Amino acid sequence: MRILVIGGDGYLGWPTALHLSQRGHEVAILDNLVRRSYDHELGADTLIPIPSIHERVRLWHQLTGHHIQLYIGDLCDYTFFEPAFKGFAPDAVVHFGEQRSAPYSMIDRRHATYTQTNNVVGTLNLLYAIAEHAPDCHLVKLGTMGEYGTPNIDIEEGYITITHNGRTDTLPFPKQPGSFYHLSKVHDSHNIMFACRIWGIRATDLNQGVVYGVETDATNLDPRLLTRFDYDAVFGTALNRFIVQAVCGVPLTVYGQGGQTRGFLDIRDTLACVELALLNPADRGEFRVFNQFTEQFNVLQLAELVKHAAAAHGINAQIEHLENPRVEKESHYYNAKHQKLIDLGLQPHYLSDTLIDSVMHIVNNHKHLVRHDTIMPSVRWRATQSPTHS
């Protein structure tokens, strides 16, 4: 297939592009490289240094003979995006090209409006391009399990059948997003579902859990092909932060009680899920939803797992509870269905399979690059932020 990966310079977009190229697909990356500018704004950086996208693509071609085409520009700029889309003429689009940090979206009004404008308008531009120029193209869109929130009932895969006043219907599962970022993803899902219904396009919404890991078969060909590793309080995950804190000999900072439960998956499973969706496309007019994760953990469980792994490396890691900067339930019911990708053939990797040990080794090799002042929470859901962010 001809596959356009939007956001192909990012944490997931880059290894996805390599994986699909390695599998023999004709791949193009479209990216405005703004993710790197967020680091400059926040004074943060990926722990694993990454070359420019042009260097990475050249290296990939030298190592494998596979060519990845580059389109450098903004999805929100239709005068750029439309000719690029028409020129590549994709059979499928994998859409990662959004601002993906909940804390970033909650810094202040400017960051909230930027997040929603960037994410929603970009996806609308893509929907129009597909409808007008490639109506058979399959859209595989990265959503998030965060769209659902933490309801006191089981989370279904996208839809729920309800009976009300004696009548029954199947409707989109209720959404309770926890940040302006997650709200943008809800808006995306509604817009994509609407476009499928009125224009007959085909789309798969991958409501993904938290991803961990940096190594894949393709990125392991050369250290310069590794993807980002974010550990700061704005873009880093709790698991990444805990591993960095353990290696650096500082307490593991659990927000609140640590009972916040989410779905998780290995980065290799992200690649497998995207490929399974591409190889088994939605029908014309179908908006289907897959819940994309393999295991559930709460934050305190993650900290305990890292503490145990650190002990095997001779590190006596300690856990410290901080006041939670977010507005969220810290103790709640959480049981989400995730069967559809298993039915398509996903063979999961699990966190217990030495993943923490392997990542800890990578972090240890780069610990001299850790920026300690970026780890502690700097964004609060309720408080007004400092004028420097306005």
Are the CB atoms for 178 and 149 separated by under 8 Å?
Answer: yes
Say if 47 falls within a structural domain: yes
What is the pLDDT, as a whole number, of residue 390?
42
Say if 389 falls within a structural domain: no
Average pLDDT (364-379) is 97
What is the pLDDT, as a whole number, of residue 135?
98
Are the CB atoms for 279 and 204 separated by under 8 Å?
Answer: no
Identify the bridge partners of residue 183 per DSSP, sorted by sequence position. none
CATH code, 47: 3.40.50.720
Local confidence band at 353 (pLDDT 50, 70, 90 cut-offs): confident
Quote the mean pLDDT of the chain.
96
Average pLDDT (363-382) is 97
Catalytic residue among 150, 185, 231, 270: 185
Tell me the per-residue pLDDT of 31-42, one tens digit each, with 9 for 90 and over: 999 999 999 999
In which domain, by residue range, is 142 found?
A: 2-380
What is the pLDDT, as a whole number, of residue 389?
46
Of the candidates 300, 295, 302, the residue with the CA atom closest to the CA atom of residue 255: 300
Catalytic residue among 71, 104, 148, 181: 181
What is the pLDDT, as a whole number, of residue 385?
52
Say if 116 falls within a structural domain: yes
314 pLDDT above the threshold of 50: yes
Q: Which residues, in sequence order, are CB contacts of 382 under 8 Å at separation 6+?
A: 327
Q: What percent of the chain has pLDDT over 70?
A: 98
Quickly list DSSP for 321-360.
EE---S-S-SS----B---HHHHHT-----TTTTHHHHHH
Domains of the chain: total: 1
Tell me the per-residue pLDDT of 146-191, one tens digit each, with 9 for 90 and over: 999 999 999 999 999 999 999 999 999 999 999 999 999 999 999 9
Q: How far is CA 253 from the centre of its chain?
A: 22
What is the pLDDT, as a whole number, of residue 355?
79
Say if 109 falls within a structural domain: yes
388 pLDDT above the threshold of 60: no
Would residue 71 show up in a list of annotated catalytic residues for this protein? no
pTM, rounded to two decimals: 0.97
Average pLDDT (285-293) is 98
For residues 194 and 200, what is the distance between their CA atoms, to the nearest angstrom?
9
Local confidence band at 357 (pLDDT 50, 70, 90 cut-offs): confident
Say if 212 falls within a structural domain: yes
What is the pLDDT, as a whole number, of residue 116?
98
Q: What percent of the chain has pLDDT over 90?
A: 96
Say if 339 falls within a structural domain: yes
Tell me the per-residue pLDDT of 209-222, one tens digit each, with 9 for 90 and over: 999 999 999 999 99
Map residue 166 onto helix, strand or coil.
coil
Q: Which residue has the tokens 């993650």?
A: 302
230 pLDDT above the threshold of 80: yes
Would residue 181 show up in a list of annotated catalytic residues for this protein? yes
Local confidence band at 277 (pLDDT 50, 70, 90 cut-offs): very high
For residues 95 and 119, what is the distance between their CA atoms, to the nearest angstrom?
11
Would residue 307 show up in a list of annotated catalytic residues for this protein? no
What is the pLDDT, as a whole number, of residue 384?
59
Burial class from Cβ neighbours inside 10 Å (0-12, 13-18, 19+) for residue 75 reads: buried
256 pLDDT above the threshold of 90: yes
Catalytic residue among 16, 46, 123, 144: 144
Average pLDDT (100-112) is 98
For residues 257 and 298, what is the distance between their CA atoms, to the nearest angstrom?
10
Average pLDDT (364-368) is 96
Of the candidates 226, 236, 231, the residue with the CA atom closest to the CA atom of residue 248: 231
What is the pLDDT, as a whole number, of residue 387?
46
Say if 385 falls within a structural domain: no
